[in-house]
Amino acid sequence: MAEQASSSEGPLSGIVVVDLSRALAGPHAAMLLGDLGARVIKVEQPGTGDDTRSWGPPFVGPEDERISTYFLSCNRNKESVELDLKSPEGAAVLTRLVRAADVLVENFRPGVLDRLGFTAERMAELNPRLVQCSISGFGHDGPEGGRAGYDQIAQGEAGLMSLTGPDHETPTKVGVPIGDLLAGMNAAYGALSALYERQRTGRGRVVRTSLLSSIVGVHAFQGTRWTVAGEVPGAIGNHHPSIAPYGSYTCADGMLQVAVASQGQWQKFAGLLGIDADDPRFADNAARVANRPALNEAIEAALAEDGREAWLERIGAVGVPCGAVRTLDQVYESDQVRSQGLLAEVDHPVLGGIELPGSAVRFSDPADPDSETPPDHRPPPRLGEHNDTVRAWLDTLDESGS
């Protein structure tokens, strides 16, 4: 193949991803692959592009080219090419991209890609090695297989909102579109698994996930409370349903969180706060969960005597996990967050130097743990920015017979 642009010489360097998706779940999946070094070619509707280019405020940039910060959040390390997939020319270019790609990511409603002439069978005929990654709202089959799905709808339908919020009467969505993000992560790891399998079989796979399955798949112990114990969980605010004390508490000048996950930690925490650790109401975890209101009242009465920073220092000193509740500006200003490479610096063609939330994965040589090289992230593309370069690359492939 001809030389390909990528975000860095990462583990997926040399892999080509065609991103037919829009909104968040699919773009997030493709971005994760781009973070790992794959070349990601984002296919967008001419003139308008991905839906999220118009999702705002906030918008940034000059008045004649306002840019959605939503779009910036999920499209780094990509190239943009405009294609009308309903036109013969657009279909022809997509055919060439399918032949050249290793992975194709799409989140059309089930059946849409088929109607455009790109069924899973046809794409496998064009490129038997292609990994086809399909993300839907509620699954590609079943009684609701064709149902459209957006994150908040899925959070409600998949039971997550019933577990979140201050009480049973106030179902609450998570503060980020967690269904979309989980579906993107599942799609990316499914694609990686299929690429690994392809090394052995020489053939691609169809990988499917959905917002519904991604949320149900992380019910964890809340799920087994129902499937095994027959209990229907409900929201209890910022406290753990099975462990106490484990949650948020108010002190003299704000809120802090503690996680007392063992009996030894309880003895230390109770002693620090002047609470009788052997009080029958609090003597073991089951008793503390059963008597949570009385326990919380005793904890907050003690914490009210001093400020958050003082308590965090004392609680941490006895080995009990604790932390502050931070706003996002405080998070991104944190030295620890920056030390973990969680901010990606990019040079945007319109905005100049900007910082984006970065990748959660880092790589280094086990023989030299300090050998880690920060990835060279590329900015989210302008609409159609790579129309010419992508076509020129495809021409080169045609000429070489690749």
Q: Give 341-380 pLDDT, tens digit per residue.
A: 999 999 999 999 999 999 999 888 888 877 777 778 999 9
Side chain identity, residue 225 = R
Write out the residue range of the structural domain in which residue 187 sits.
16-218+385-400
149 and 57 share one domain: yes
Task: Indicate whether 297 and 173 sit together in one domain.
Answer: no
- Residue pointed to by tokens 């796979």: 205
Asked whether residue 156 is assigned to any structural domain, the reply reads yes
Q: Does 180 qualify as catalytic in the annotation? A: yes
Residue 225 lies in a domain: no
CA distance 354 to 345: 6
Domain co-membership, 183 together with 263: no
Residues 58, 207: one domain? Answer: yes
Catalytic residue among 114, 180, 279, 329: 180
* Complete DSSP assignment for 271-294: HHHT--TT-TTTSSHHHHHHTHHH
- Give the residue carrying structure tokens 């360097």: 13
- Whether 197 and 261 share a structural domain: no
Q: How confident is the model at residue 366, as a pLDDT?
A: 86
CATH number at residue 140: 3.40.50.10540
By C-alpha distance, which of 44, 46, 42, 11 is closest to 29? 42
Residues 41 and 145 in one domain: yes
Look at residue 282 and tell me if it is in a domain.
Answer: yes
- Cβ atoms within 10 Å of 385's Cβ, excluding its own: 18
Provide the CATH number for the domain around residue 281.
3.30.1540.10
What is the pLDDT at residue 6?
46
The residue from 281, 301, 326 where one domain ends is: 326
Q: What is the structure's pLDDT at 4? A: 43
- Residue (of 55, 54, 12) closest to 32 by Cα position: 12
| Pair (271, 168) in one structural domain | no
Q: Does residue 7 fall inside a structural domain?
A: no
The predicted-structure confidence for 246-263, as pLDDT tens digits, reads as follows 999 999 998 999 999 999
Count the domains in the chain.
Answer: 2
Question: 239 - beta bridge partners?
Answer: 247
32 and 176 co-located in one domain: yes
The number of beta carbons lying within 10 Å of the beta carbon of residue 272 is: 15
3-class SS of residue 346:
strand
The dihedral sign for the CA sequence 300, 303, 306, 308: negative
**Last residue of some domain: 308, 326, 344?**
326
User: Are 102 and 45 in a shared domain?
Assistant: yes
62 falls within a domain: yes
User: Do residue 173 and residue 277 come from a single domain?
Assistant: no
pLDDT on residue 370: 78
Distance CA 229, CA 214 (A): 22
Does any domain span residue 380?
A: no
The Cα–Cα gap between 321 and 135 comes to 37
2 falls within a domain: no
| Residue that terminates a domain, selected from 285, 303, 326 | 326
- A 10 A CB-CB count for 389 gives 13
Low-confidence ranges of the chain (pLDDT < 70): 1-8, 402
Say yes or no: 300 and 253 in one domain: yes
Site of tokens 């790992």 = 36
Give yes or no: residues 193 and 295 share one domain. no
Q: Domain for residue 3, yes or no? A: no
Specify the pLDDT at position 8.
Answer: 54
